[in-house]
Structure 1
Amino acid sequence: MPCTIRLACLADAPYLPALEQDAAQAFAAIPELVWLTGGDGLDLATHTASIAARTCWVAASATGQLLGFVTAHLYGLDLHIQEMSVTQAAQGQGLGRRLLHAVCTAAQQRGLQRVTLTTFVNVPWNAPFYASAGFCHVSHAALDVRLASILEHENATGLAAIPRCAMQYVVAASVQCVSK
């Protein structure tokens, strides 16, 4: 699918919550997570802050339609992915991998040490997908305070129906980031 991956701009922000909601419909196939299809997702303020920090990327079609996004937050030398969503119509076409590539390349260019995220362990388009892109599981014993706190908060808000994990991509200064 021809599209451009670019930094998001403020004009994109109002479209991101609906895009996330559309992407979340994939969870309808998982009984324990069907409630996510009507969940809230990230608020506009979070997206706007990430756009201002230049840590939000979008996938836009040739006509300008937004097909996916990734919103991240900078924590010291880590860039943490808060959400990555691709519309149902565009899922399975490599946009998620291209968005990850943009994030990891930006982290490399900024001299960051790693890209982190939390996700469902056994949902195919979650941990297995990230592992195929070069992300590694962070063992429970190796969790830093920030990642442990994020997982604890997620479990407290109902995401513990299916096991979750933290993952990381260690950014190397001279190695190509996540392949497209």
Structure 2
Amino acid sequence: MTYTIRQAVAADLPLLADIERAAGALFADANIGEVDVDDVAELRLIESVARAGGVFVAVKDDAPVGFILAAPLDIHIHIYELSVHPAHGRQGLGRRLVDAVCDDASARGFKAVTLSTFRDVPWNAPFYASCGFRILDPAEWTPAFYLAHYHEADMGLPLERRCFMRKELK
């Protein structure tokens, strides 16, 4: 299958919720507690990230099959979400989407890309480590990371399994 990575266009944005739901179903087997697969990013949030130039999609036959949301947080670009429809998984699309964000961030003068994820879910921290990210010690957290951490607590995520990661850009 031939896939293309490109910046999202307005017509792509309403289609991302179905991809997010399908990808979210994979967490049911990850022992992270109750996962509400219908709790997807609001379209208004996705539109705001798109206005900041931070929505990239993986497409096949011009239909999105994966996406990444990334926008500034503090002084770095932060990946808020990466989802690939399971029917198109294991094709390297997640890595290509991460690379697109890192390349774009570097071209825009950012020095690093950050994210928050599960430490022990194979397609989370171990995957991002393979992309060049490292887990941050809490002594390295910025005020915005603490606010994001508190938000994750409000969402009921198991904080002991969460981490922030950063990749330095060239």
What's the TM-score, normalizing by structure 1? 0.89
Partner in structure 1 of residue 90 of structure 2:
92
Q: What is the percentage of aligned positions where both structures have the same residue?
A: 38
Deviation at 1:29, TM superposition (A): 1.1
2:32 aligned counterpart, secondary structure: helix
Partner in structure 2 of residue 59 of structure 1:
58
Alignment of 1:134-153 (within 5 A): 134-153=132-151
Deviation at 1:129, TM superposition (A): 0.2
8 Å contact kept, 2:32–2:158? no
Partner in structure 1 of residue 13 of structure 2:
13
Partner in structure 2 of residue 2 of structure 1:
2
Computed over aligned residues only, the root mean square deviation of the Cα atoms, in angstroms, reads 1.4
Unaligned runs of 5+ in 2: none
Deviation at 1:161, TM superposition (A): 6.4
The 3 A distance-change label for structure 1 pair 20 and 149 is same
Q: Distance in 1 between matches of 2:146 and 2:126?
A: 20
Deviation at 1:160, TM superposition (A): 1.3
Alignment of 1:1-180 (within 5 A): 1-33=1-33, 35-61=34-60, 63-160=61-158, 163-172=161-170
Deviation at 1:75, TM superposition (A): 2.8
Partner in structure 2 of residue 177 of structure 1:
none
Q: Distance in 1 between matches of 2:162 and 2:131?
A: 18
8 Å contact kept, 1:71–1:83? yes
Once superposed, which parts of structure 1, at least 4 consecutive aligned residues long, lie more than 3 Å away? none
Q: Distance in 2 between matches of 1:155 and 1:25?
A: 21
Q: Distance in 1 between matches of 2:116 and 2:30?
A: 18
8 Å contact kept, 2:74–2:144? no
8 Å contact kept, 2:114–2:167? yes
Q: Distance in 2 between matches of 1:51 and 1:15?
A: 14
What amino acid sits opposite 1:88 in the alignment? P
Deviation at 1:147, TM superposition (A): 1.2
8 Å contact kept, 2:5–2:100? yes
